Chains A and B, each alone.
Chain A
Amino acid sequence: MSNSMIGRAAAATPPGAARQIRGLSDRAIAWIFVAPTIFLLLAVNIFPLIWTIRLSFTNFRANRPNAEVSWVGLSNYQRILTDPDIWRTMQATAHFLVWTLVFQVLIGFTLAWLINRKFKGNDLWTTIIVLPMMLSPAVVGNFWTFLYQPQIGLFNYVVAFFTGIDPTSFTMIGDVALAPWAIVIVDTWMWTPFVMLICLAGLRSIPDAIYEAAECDRASSWRQFWTITIPMTLPFLMLAVLFRGIENFKMFDLVVQLTGGGPGNTTTLTSIDLKREAFEKWRTGYSSAYAIILFVTVFGLASIYVKALNKVKER
């Protein structure tokens, strides 16, 4: 049947074309299949990257297409790396990144560990817990501004209820000391379920037989946790950290909605600053250099991290 179909197809192919296709090597045919994808990648990823690198050495402004463009060498890079304001945004980003990862991993893993234990209503709780990550970051940012309102906000009310302090005596998004934590809390609330789901997948992938064998060897629960559960879920945890780390390094919408980068520039993360430079001030050359520096930073850190992840997986 299939032979006859092939035969019919071969017979239907014009002799000239058939000869041509038959004449192509496997390598050539492979190139024909791969070429559209490579072309797309070059057009959408590689060319813009090269173009951005080129622009980063100029004073080009996208809103002045007719203005003269000058070659400024490394001056954009020099200005960025010596600008204390940019280092402040880097610090704000590092604070946000580190603390969100710490909280999300700790809480996410704990929740996954609890959910993994069979109990009544397990599915219902899982659904409730993952709800926040299904919401739009802009919506979350918006309604948390209300929750943080000193006069009517639920957050201040709850804090006041447990501590006895006046709810109007502190403002989470208007205080320099509290605002960085305000954005950490909201991101943790929203994205801990994501970490939990990945950890849950890791926990459920551990065969019961390993725990049974450990019990036969009279290993304590604590010992089982440290020698079976943690090592076997570590690759999953590291994957969750990688995903959340990349996401939070480029965090924009949630924080813009919550604080607008304020008070002052306390919560101005690099992505917010970059957007202002590129699309509000329209310093395209300067912001290209800024973007390249961030790209190299993320790419470098991610590469080191992925190597570490692969080593953990190989163990």
Chain B
Amino acid sequence: MHCTRTLSVAAVALTAATAAARADDLTLCWAAWDPANALVELSKDFEAQSGNKMSFEFVPWPNFADRMLNELNSGGKLCDLMIGDSQWIGLGAEAGHYIKLNDFFEANGITMDDFLPATVKGYAEWPKGTPNYWALPAYADVVGWTYRKDWFDRPELQAEFQETYGRPLEAPTTLDELMDVAKFFQGREIDGKTVYGAAIYTERGSEGITMGVTNVLYNYGFDYGTPENPYQLEGVVNSPEAAKGLEFYKELYDCCTPPGSSDWYMSEDIDAYKSGQVALQMNFAFIWPGVEADPNVGGGKSGYFANPEGPDGHFAQLGGQGISVVSYTDSKDAALDYIKWFAQPEIQQRWWDMGGASAMRAVVENPDFATSQPYAQTFLDSMAIVKDFWAEPAYASLLLSMQDRVHSYVVAGQGTAQEALDALVADWTEIFQDEGKM
């Protein structure tokens, strides 16, 4: 008996010692935004289960890419886990910043079939369309629209809109309808305040205006190459239809945005919407839980709709990120343990419940999901029509060129839409030639 007890104590001590020996300090790097706070809470469960300690390095969005890509490019050991933007996946894979996860997934029964296909392609695969995985889809996000349902419901506004446009005032389903609604509200007096049509992305410095304008361009036929030639730019990027799409975005900016919105991105759009300046807001879906909880615009005052259809298609700009293990980490096993823990369906369900956006099919295809939040159905509709920007290793150069060309036309009003897209094709051609891909 005494011997058995001694052995038991020794076994417990050994187990504890082993756990202590394996315990690691893991640092997870991500953007500083609401979902990151939810992840901190969620990760306490991992700490309790594994004995590892989690630290977090969150950087505001405008500096996120700069800061984190510098970290990766310098082989820094700050981040063991990186929730990097979807466009980084090519660089992460080809420059060796991320660990390839195929073997790990296979050994631990994690299959990409359990995740939304768009998120697998957008966040995990490189090269695109091949079963080579460098991340686990972590946060599903997409650009969508928020509108002031309480204003739309006002009988006097409904009557006036019906009389002017010959249809009811409701969430637009086409880009032309969106323009009409934005024009209708622009400069209107509501509750003694002048309000404006729409808050859209126009930011110059990082990625803002590109993430905005693509929502229109895609629906006017713009694309990144063709199925036959992924680097076919001429006639695809700068087609006459795409130029019309760019003209549409400029018209929306000129006619229907608040004064001074020449450099707006996510936070400025949120502020304009929550302060009652605008009837419509373009933004990533991550803001929707915050809108719903807001005392001014939440609690049924807001509605949500997917990016409206255009004459040549129906797409929305993909946002969101996958979680990767940084190859320079000294705690690879613990970092992989985190991914294994995060891939569990019950953890993914809690992730959604806490304000995260799961990409796991078990969560989003649950029959109760669509009614779980007022925006849940719009989220599903939007995730079904996503398209993403280049994820090439040279994505930063491609993005900066687009920022420059599009901002110069839309906000600065320099040249024509066709000239802007022609210049973009020239820039991108030069970049791909430098990369040896053209």
Which residues of B lie under 8 Å from residue A279 when comparing CB positions? 66, 70
| Cα distance A85–B414 in the bound complex, in angstroms | 13
One of A11-19, A57-65, A102-110, A246-254 contacting the partner = A57-65
Chain B CB within 8 A of A261 CB: yes
Return A80 CB to nearest CB of chain B, in Å: 13
Selected from B73, B263, B414, B434, the residue in CB contact (under 8 A) with A260 is: B263
Selected from B400, B411, B434, the residue in CB contact (under 8 A) with A174 is: B411
Chain B's interface size range is 20 to 34
Contact indicator A171/B259 (Cβ below 8 Å)? yes
Contact indicator A262/B69 (Cβ below 8 Å)? no
Contact indicator B259/A63 (Cβ below 8 Å)? no
Contact indicator A262/B262 (Cβ below 8 Å)? yes
Chain A CB within 8 A of B260 CB: yes
One of A39-47, A198-206, A228-236, A263-271 contacting the partner = A263-271
Chain B CB within 8 A of A173 CB: yes
Chain B CB within 8 A of A259 CB: yes
Most B CB within 10 A of own CB, among A175, A256, A265: A265
| Cα distance A180–B434 in the bound complex, in angstroms | 33
Q: Which residues of A, 143-189, contact B by the 8 Å Cβ criterion?
A: 148-151, 153, 168-169, 171, 173-176
Return B67 CB to nearest CB of chain A, in Å: 11
Which residues of A lie under 8 Å from residue B392 when comparing CB positions? none
Q: A63-B91, A281-B397, A283-B397 are in contact. Are A263 and B262 (CB under 8 A)?
A: yes
**Bitwise interface map of A from 71 to 91 toward B, beta carbon under 8 Å scored 1, else 0:** 000000000000001000000
Selected from B203, B259, B414, the residue in CB contact (under 8 A) with A264 is: B414
Selected from B65, B204, B258, the residue in CB contact (under 8 A) with A151 is: B258
Which residues of B lie under 8 Å from residue A171 when comparing CB positions? 259-260, 262
Chain B CB within 8 A of A305 CB: no
Please list the residues of chain B having a beta carbon within 8 angstroms of any beta carbon in chain A.
65-66, 69-70, 73, 91, 95-96, 203-205, 258-263, 277, 393-394, 396-397, 400, 404, 407-409, 411-414, 434
Interchain Cβ contacts under 8 Å between A and B, 6 examples: A63-B91, A64-B95, A168-B260, A261-B205, A262-B204, A266-B412
Which residues of A lie under 8 Å from residue B277 when comparing CB positions? 151
Contact indicator A173/B70 (Cβ below 8 Å)? no
Return A267 CB to nearest CB of chain B, in Å: 9
Chain B CB within 8 A of A280 CB: yes
Contact indicator A62/B73 (Cβ below 8 Å)? yes
**Bitwise interface map of A from 110 to 152 toward B, beta carbon under 8 Å scored 1, else 0:** 0000000000000000000000000000000000000011110
Which residues of B lie under 8 Å from residue A151 when comparing CB positions? 258-260, 277
Q: A256-B205, A262-B263 are in contact. Are A176 and B412 (CB under 8 A)?
A: yes
| Cα distance A148–B408 in the bound complex, in angstroms | 20
Contact indicator B408/A265 (Cβ below 8 Å)? yes
| Cα distance A66–B96 in the bound complex, in angstroms | 10
**Top-5 shortest CB links A-B:** A174-B262, A264-B408, A264-B412, A260-B205, A262-B204
Task: Please report whether the interface of chain B is mostly helix, strand, loop or mixed according to DSSP.
Answer: loop
Contact indicator B404/A63 (Cβ below 8 Å)? no
Which residues of B lie under 8 Å from residue A266 when comparing CB positions? 412
Closest-by-CB residue of A relative to B434 is A59
Which residues of A lie under 8 Å from residue B394 when comparing CB positions? 281
Q: A63-B69, A280-B66 are in contact. Are A262 and B400 (CB under 8 A)?
A: no
Q: A149-B260, A262-B263, A283-B397 are in contact. Are A176 and B69 (CB under 8 A)?
A: no
Closest-by-CB residue of A relative to B406 is A264
Selected from A64, A149, A176, the residue in CB contact (under 8 A) with B414 is: A176
Contact indicator B412/A63 (Cβ below 8 Å)? no
Contact indicator A176/B413 (Cβ below 8 Å)? yes
| Cα distance A72–B426 in the bound complex, in angstroms | 21
| Cα distance A262–B73 in the bound complex, in angstroms | 27
Which residues of B lie under 8 Å from residue A259 when comparing CB positions? 204, 263
Which residues of A lie under 8 Å from residue B409 when comparing CB positions? 264
Which residues of A lie under 8 Å from residue B263 when comparing CB positions? 173-174, 259-260, 262-263
Contact indicator B204/A260 (Cβ below 8 Å)? yes
Closest-by-CB residue of B relative to A175 is B262
Contact indicator A265/B396 (Cβ below 8 Å)? no
Selected from B70, B91, B412, the residue in CB contact (under 8 A) with A262 is: B412
| Cα distance A150–B258 in the bound complex, in angstroms | 9
Which residues of B lie under 8 Å from residue A256 when comparing CB positions? 205
Contact indicator A282/B73 (Cβ below 8 Å)? yes
| Cα distance A174–B413 in the bound complex, in angstroms | 10
| Cα distance A20–B396 in the bound complex, in angstroms | 60
Which residues of B lie under 8 Å from residue A313 when comparing CB positions? none
Q: A279-B70, A280-B396 are in contact. Are A263 and B411 (CB under 8 A)?
A: yes
Contact indicator A265/B411 (Cβ below 8 Å)? no
Which residues of B lie under 8 Å from residue A64 when comparing CB positions? 95, 393
Which residues of B lie under 8 Å from residue A54 when comparing CB positions? none
Return A212 CB to nearest CB of chain B, in Å: 56
Closest-by-CB residue of A relative to B414 is A264
Contact indicator B396/A281 (Cβ below 8 Å)? yes
Contact indicator A174/B260 (Cβ below 8 Å)? yes
Chain B CB within 8 A of A223 CB: no
| Cα distance A280–B205 in the bound complex, in angstroms | 11
Which residues of A lie under 8 Å from residue B73 when comparing CB positions? 62-63, 282
Contact indicator A150/B408 (Cβ below 8 Å)? no
Which residues of A lie under 8 Å from residue B397 when comparing CB positions? 280-283
Contact indicator B404/A265 (Cβ below 8 Å)? yes
Contact indicator A168/B396 (Cβ below 8 Å)? no
| Cα distance A264–B423 in the bound complex, in angstroms | 13
Most B CB within 10 A of own CB, among A59, A63, A66, A175: A63
Which residues of B lie under 8 Å from residue A150 when comparing CB positions? 259-260
Q: A62-B73, A174-B263, A280-B400 are in contact. Are A262 and B411 (CB under 8 A)?
A: yes
Contact indicator B404/A264 (Cβ below 8 Å)? yes
Contact indicator B204/A263 (Cβ below 8 Å)? yes
Contact indicator B259/A263 (Cβ below 8 Å)? no
| Cα distance A85–B404 in the bound complex, in angstroms | 10
Most B CB within 10 A of own CB, among A66, A85, A176, A260: A260
| Cα distance A173–B263 in the bound complex, in angstroms | 9
Return A186 CB to nearest CB of chain B, in Å: 15
Return B95 CB to nearest CB of chain A, in Å: 6
Beyond A259-B204, A263-B263, 20 additional contacts (C-beta under 8 Å) are A66-B96, A85-B404, A150-B259, A169-B259, A171-B262, A174-B261, A174-B262, A176-B412, A260-B205, A262-B204, A262-B205, A264-B204, A264-B409, A265-B404, A265-B408, A266-B412, A281-B394, A281-B396, A281-B397, A282-B396
